[in-house]
Structure formats: C-alpha cells, structure tokens
Amino acid sequence: MITLLTGGTGGVKLLLGLCQLLPQRELCVIVNTAEDLWLPHGHFSPDVDTVLYALAGILDESRWYGIRGDTYTTHRRLKELGCEEYLRIGDLDRATHIVRGELLRRGFTLEEATRRMAERMGIEAQVLPMSNQRVSTVIHTPRGRMNLQEWLVKHAAEPEVTGVSYEGGRTACGACVRALERSDAIIIGPSNPVTSIMPILRLENLAEVLRRRRHRAVAVSPLVRGRPFSGPADVLMRAARIPPESESIARLYREYCGTFVVDSGEAGFEVPGMRLLRTSTLMQTREQMRGLAGYLLEVLGVETP
C-alpha cells in the first residue's frame, strides 16, 4: 500500500497520477483538515472533498475544487435573501457538507463520516482526514486573525500576512498512524507546505511514525521552476518565516522523508542526510500526472501491475 499526504490541489494531481498506475484499494490518502469550517448549512472540509471528488471521478479539474457541472441555484437564492455566502458553493457540493454535518452532529467522527461518504461515492481508496480533532490554520493580518478561506476568498488575499499559526488538537486519527506503519511507501505530495503539509506534520503521533519510516518516504516540492504553480504558497511561506524555495521546504521535511524531488527547472542543492532528485514535476495533463507518479514509484521501488 502507498500512503499520500496531501492538501487539495498539487497532491491531488499526483493522486490522479497514482490512480492511473495502481488499483485504488492499494492507495491511502491522509488529508489536511486544518481548513475545515462549520458553515450555516453543514461541515466544510475542502481538501477532503477535493480528494473524494477526484477519486469518484467528479472533480471540477478546472478549479481543483467542487463538482464538475455543478449549479449555483441555492448560492444565488441565499445571496438574494441577504446571506453573506462569501464562498461560492455549488448545489451538489453543498449536499456533501450537509451530509457530513449531519453525521458529525449524530456523533460520528470525521473519520467515520468520511468513510461513509467515500463508500457512497464508490471510492475504493482509503481516505483519512488527518485528525478527528478540530485543527485550524490561523492567518494573522493587520485586519485581525482569520481562517484561510476568509483571507483568500472573502478578502481576496489582500491583507498583508504577518504570521501563520496553528490551533487545535495534535493527535492524528489512529487509522492514519496504522496506515503509515504498514505502507510500503509514503509520499508527501506537492502541496502547500504551510497550509496543507505542516498541519499534518504537527500531529505528534503521525510525526513520530514518519520519523521512524523516513527511509520509505519521498516528498515532492510544490514549486515548479522555483515558483508556486498556483496559490499563495510563497506569500504564506514568507509569513511563516520560511524562504519560499525548494531548499527550505526540503529542510522543513528532512526529519520526515529521506528523499526530496524538485523540478528539473530548478538548480540543485544539498541537504545533509537527504537524497535530492530532479525531474519534471509539472502536472497539467493526465500523462504528466502519471509520469510523475510512475517516477516516484520507481524511486520508492514499488512495482506496478
């Protein structure tokens, strides 16, 4: 089994590559939940939703969130009725949040709710929210502290980010720890280090297994030719006092993985105790996604059927 640690875009492109090479039942995905929010209609778990929709084959791949072909009737009506609705949520997507919220209110854990929903969507891969505890990434700005969606969407990423911090539980789901223990290989996806990967690595029991199994783990830089391919990784890295370069990401992950892959458009560097590899990491097409996934499996010594 292969376990992937991911947020909702770069890591998910890699997941779609892995799905072209391995049966879904051989994949486990540990997903960031530090962007989760309770909204008036239910529980929003943006990265988990993107992973579920990708595995179910219904993801809107033009945006890397939401459901392909979704409609916005409820969103429009809510706005007409004076609701703030700063997130533009589709009707089908909203149903996911309603069901998750209902399951959580009935006492299911996030892990159980996710398993149920994955089954309903015909997904065979194991999808694990990183934690059943509430965890949040907090964006600090001169206009106050806010969650990532508020900063990125409501305020259009305009307020200067003066810092980033994490709040909430520090324990991963037991299933995440078990999956990492028995995985043949572990991949840290090319996701935003500050908002997607660091919240996962902050979970103490999960970090402990990764440290022990770092020889089986490879990470991919989310920077393509030295820059984020999409999203605000550079702005948030600077705010977190991490220079926005692959080398600093490699140093950040050094405890947790023995191999780090950077884009071939980047200059090489050395990090003691880490093997550095270079290949094309751009994933704009299915072939590129499969190509990078195949390269990583080869590096990890995993045979494909």
Can residue 66 be called a binding residue for ligand GDP (CB under 6 A)? no
State which residue has the least CB distance to ligand GDP: 10
Alpha-carbon gap, residue 245 to 262, rounded angstroms: 10
Task: Please report how close the Cβ of residue 77 comes to ligand GDP at its closest, in angstroms.
Answer: 27
Can residue 129 be called a binding residue for ligand GDP (CB under 6 A)? no
Answer for which of 44, 53, 151, 229 binds ligand GDP (CB under 6 A) is 229
Cα angle: 186, vertex 189, 195; to 5 degrees: 120
Can residue 7 be called a binding residue for ligand GDP (CB under 6 A)? yes
Can residue 233 be called a binding residue for ligand GDP (CB under 6 A)? yes
Can residue 285 be called a binding residue for ligand GDP (CB under 6 A)? no
Alpha-carbon gap, residue 146 to 153, rounded angstroms: 11
CB 272 within 8 A of CB 247: no
Task: Please report how close the Cβ of residue 32 comes to ligand GDP at its closest, in angstroms.
Answer: 6
Can residue 199 be called a binding residue for ligand GDP (CB under 6 A)? no
CB 152 within 8 A of CB 210: no
Answer for which of 3, 4, 13, 274 binds ligand GDP (CB under 6 A) is 13
CB 21 within 8 A of CB 294: yes
Alpha-carbon gap, residue 273 to 165, rounded angstroms: 28
| Phi–psi pair at 240, nearest 5 degrees | -90, 10
The number of residues that bind ligand GDP (CB under 6 A) is 24
Can residue 191 be called a binding residue for ligand GDP (CB under 6 A)? yes
For the chain, the farthest-separated pair of C-alpha atoms sits apart, in whole angstroms, at: 58
Can residue 222 be called a binding residue for ligand GDP (CB under 6 A)? yes
Which of the stretches 86-94, 156-164, 207-215, 223-231 binds ligand GDP when contact is defined by CB under 6 A? 223-231
Can residue 183 be called a binding residue for ligand GDP (CB under 6 A)? no
Pairing of strands 223-224, 27-31: unpaired
Which of the stretches 22-30, 86-94, 247-255, 280-288 binds ligand GDP when contact is defined by CB under 6 A? 280-288
CB nearer ligand GDP, residue 78 or residue 157: 157
Task: Please report how close the Cβ of residue 81 comes to ligand GDP at its closest, in angstroms.
Answer: 29
Can residue 9 be called a binding residue for ligand GDP (CB under 6 A)? yes
Residue 75 CA: distances (Å) to CA of 34, 78, 93, 191: 24, 5, 11, 29
Residue 166 CA: distances (Å) to CA of 71, 146, 163, 200, 302: 34, 12, 10, 11, 35
Which positions lie near ligand GDP, rule CB under 6 A?
6-11, 13, 47, 190-192, 195-196, 220, 222, 224, 228-231, 233, 281-283
